[in-house]
Amino acid sequence: MVELLLDAGALLGESPVWHATESRLYWVDIDGRKIHRTDPAIGADDVMELDEQVGCIAPRAGGGLVAALENGCALIDKWGDTPRPFGPAALADKPEQRFNDGRVDAAGRLWVGSLTSDKPSRDAALYRLDPDGSLTRIFGGLMTSNGAAFSPDGRIFYHADTPTHRIDAYDVDPAAGTLVGKRLFHQFPEGNGRPDGAAVDAEGCYWSALWDGWRIVRLSPTGELLQTVELPVQRPTMIAFGGPDLQTAFVTSAGKNLTDEERKAQPHAGGVFAFDVNVPGLIQREFGA
């Protein structure tokens, strides 16, 4: 049973992450330039406003957050603090791009991709931000980097370039932080939703939010469709697992660019939704800096 957790009215809700120590769900509204901190137990929602768009966030090992902003990454030392730049402003000379989806690996590195508004050009890329502030370009040729997630043992990396309707898998060298062996994991047919943000559960299954697809799907470690969860919104954006047993799925969504008729059919677009799952998710890794 899918429930509306928070009728947030976000323009582009994204990047939900469960903070186990605080028992709160952190997430962003990219176009709204906001970071949210939601307490599912009581429905309270704190909001931090930023001066620029924020593509994704993750908790830091030393407290606070790492955030991927429009041009580069930043550290937020505590709730409400002004983000301080961390690492190079890699997109400063690319006004058509901004940072988007990201995921922290077991070594405390943030894998974060960009997107380009100049579609169908393939100028966006996937990067790896290390705890020392170095930023490494992993590969390019992308339009919208999305769906970053790791297998439970950290040796497989999943990634989607949303407009291609395709999810790829790569072999990871955990020590070096490199990828090899690109292969097709799952290809979605066109016209029924595109793969957006994602998360992996304890059985190694990959859950993908389908933009314009009204649903979340669970894929086996071999890419087989196992489960579909229908949602009351057209544009789910990403899923995260949380709660005391990591068996609550939280889903963000987008409410922007809807017609009056579309909005009438989905009055809670831009909200955060929740449903129970039988298999728990994985513990959210923390960024090392």
Residues tagged active-site = 196
Torsion of CA 274, 277, 281, 283, to 10 degrees: 60
Contacts of 167 (CB under 8 A, 6+ apart): 147, 158, 159, 160, 184, 185, 186, 187, 195, 198, 206, 208, 219, 223
Q: Buried b vs exposed e over 186-202: b needs ≥16 C-beta within 10 Å?
A: bebeeeebbbbbbbbbe
What is the residue whose two structure tokens read 């894929």? 219
253 in Cβ contact with 267 (< 8 Å): no
Containing H/E element for 239? Answer: strand 236-242
List beta partners, residue 156. 171
* Beta pairing partners, 113: 126
Q: How far apart are CA 288 and CA 42, in angstroms?
A: 30
250, β-bridge pairs: 240, 274
Q: Under DSSP, is residue 260 helix (H, G, I), strand (E, B) or coil?
A: helix
